């Protein structure tokens, strides 16, 4: 995917996720299944993930390079990145640390969705305005499960990760 396609795919999945969550009743949105995250917790997890992701794209490029280094390979394709992520999940990879939402979320559904919309809008704007197609391949960032990945791969992950959580909440809401 080129940057334009990344922006379009990001916008589409973010909007689909938002629309689905808005159409769920408040009761279902906050309902806590046994040993699983509620829809609200899934949204909170994505917000927590997006905060970290957005930070990388906000930092000056020289800081990103200084902190993480240079890529030693070409960016993987979307499909290759997704396959690697699925493999990590299958081998027991799970969210940890700051990415784990609290058990009780003291915020309304509308407030949580507004936070999601605000951060995703900011993310798209930052990637679109500050990063060229070439730069997405020439900088890397640390990922808790995938290791060091290029910023293009981080865009791919963000698209897939949102869709992954959308599919989880759709399956649980049937």
173: pLDDT strictly greater than 90: no
CATH architecture designation of domain 3-26+37-172:
Up-down Bundle (1.20)
Provide mean pLDDT across the span 80-108.
89
Tell me how far apart the alpha carbons of residues 172 and 174 are, in angstroms, rounded to a whole number. Answer: 6
Higher-pLDDT residue of 129 and 102 is 129
Does 12 have pLDDT greater than 80? yes
98: left (phi over 0), alpha (psi -120 to 50) or beta: alpha
pLDDT at 116 over 80: yes
Q: Residue 98 corresponds to which tokens in the numbers above?
A: 């700051």
pLDDT tier at 122, thresholds 50, 70, 90:
very high
Could you tell me the residue ranges of all domains in the chain? 3-26+37-172
pLDDT tens, residue by residue, 21-51: 999 999 999 998 888 999 999 999 999 999 9
Q: How many CB atoms lie within 10 A of CB 17?
A: 22
pTM recorded for the entire structure: 0.95
- What does the alpha-carbon distance between residue 140 and residue 132 come to, in Å, rounded to a whole number? 14
């Amino acid at each position: 995917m080129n940057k334009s396609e990344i922006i379009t795919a990001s916008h589409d999945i973010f909007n689909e996720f938002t629309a689905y969550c808005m159409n769920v009743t408040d009761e279902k949105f906050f309902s806590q299944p046994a040993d699983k995250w509620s829809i609200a917790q899934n949204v909170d997890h994505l917000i927590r993930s997006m905060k970290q992701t957005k930070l990388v794209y906000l930092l000056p490029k020289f800081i990103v390079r200084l902190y993480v280094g240079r890529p030693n390979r070409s960016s993987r394709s979307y499909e290759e990145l997704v396959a690697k992520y699925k493999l990590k999940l299958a081998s027991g990879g799970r969210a940890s640390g700051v990415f784990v939402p609290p058990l009780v979320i003291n915020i309304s559904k509308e407030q949580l969705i507004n936070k999601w919309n605000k951060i995703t809008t900011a993310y798209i704007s930052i990637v679109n305005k500050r990063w060229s197609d070439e730069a997405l391949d020439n900088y890397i960032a640390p990922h808790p499960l995938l290791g060091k990945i290029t910023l293009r791969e981080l865009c791919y992950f963000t698209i897939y990760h949102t869709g992954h959580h959308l599919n989880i909440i759709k399956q649980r809401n049937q």
